[in-house]
Structure 1
């Protein structure tokens, strides 16, 4: 993957970096943990400007979060309540659970969006509840930009410092991404199993 991404960015320049970071948010299997250190690697070789790499990477990340935000806005509170009433078992969320989630996001939404952009796997999906909670676009853009800026700066700096050994960055960060993803899957099936068990206990009374 390194050679393919390297060739793409070298041929398309900053636009290629912007496109990859946009797609990384829309299509998560393309990891930013690989893209941004690559930009830092090229900057260390004098082929790109490190500050432009960070700015372009941040812009791509922010743009990539917008489709998820608007998806959340489309569903919104009322549609999600209706879905939980109809498909609550599969979602592992009943209407009261949805109300609690909205209440939590109303209290911690800003922190969730800001720090969520720094957590692998979560950084893309955090835009959905922001849209569902109808967070204002200026506020969403500000928080998403700040969080993305920190994330892209760290990865670019790591790639710049390590230069030819930039793949070391991926070897450390990529396992964290997998742990988070597997953790989310485990929690989901755990909740599903608990609801099934609780339903059987209720039916036996």
Structure 2
């Protein structure tokens, strides 16, 4: 994967970085933890602007974030709830939990989105609940942009400073990302096994 990501960045520069980050956001298995450090290395070796690399990555990622937000907003909470009632165990959600999540977003939506943008896997999916609960689009854009900029900057600067020593970045980011994914999957699996529809659910 590293080779073809590097090839796209070398051949298409800023446009390639933005495109890769867009695809990464829409399709999470393509990791930004690889894309942005390689983009930072590209900036260091080619003489291209590190700022340009960061901006390109952030723009590409934000386009993906907006895509998920608009798709979820189009679906709407009412239609999603009907779907959740039908496939409650798979989604591990029922009416009560959906209402609780809606209230949580109403109070802390900005913080949830901002922090979510710097967590592997979560960063690509946090737009969905924001769109479903119709989070104010201005707040969504502000906190998404802030978190996304922090994430892309950190990874790009790491690649820029370490140069070809990409393995040193991966020693830290790789296990951390894997641990978060394993924890999230473990939580999901536990919820599937123990899930019961609450009596208050319609």
Give your verdict on TM over 0.5: yes
Q: Distance in 1 between matches of 2:78 and 2:161?
A: 49
| CA shift for structure 1 position 64 | 1.2
* Alignment-derived partner of residue 52 in structure 1: 52
Q: How many residues align?
A: 198
1:101-140 alignment, distance < 5 Å: 101-140=101-140
d(CA) in 1 for partners of 2:11, 2:90:
45
User: Structure 1, residues 139-194: CA drift from partner, whole Å, max 9, x if none?
Assistant: 21111111111111111110011001023212321222222222222112211211
Q: What residue in structure 2 maps to residue 202 of structure 1?
A: none
Q: Does 1:95 align with 2:88?
A: no
Contact 1:38 1:159 in 2 (8 A): yes
Contact 1:17 1:57 in 2 (8 A): yes
Structure 1 segments, 4+ long, off by >6 Å, are none
1:22 maps onto 2:46 in alignment:
no
Normalised to the residue count of structure 1, the TM-score between the two structures is 0.90
Between 1:72-81 and 1:109-118, the stretch displaced more is 72-81
TM-score normalised according to structure 2 size = 0.91
Between the aligned partners of 2:73 and 2:172, the Cα distance in structure 1 is: 35
Report which of the two has the higher share of helix: 1
Q: Specify every segment of 5 or more residues in structure 2 that has no aligned partner in the other structure, as ranges.
A: none
Q: CA deviation at 1:129?
A: 0.7
| CA-based RMSD | 1.7
Task: Identify the residue that residue 5 of structure 1 maps to in structure 2.
Answer: 5
Structure 1: gaps (5+ residues): 200-205
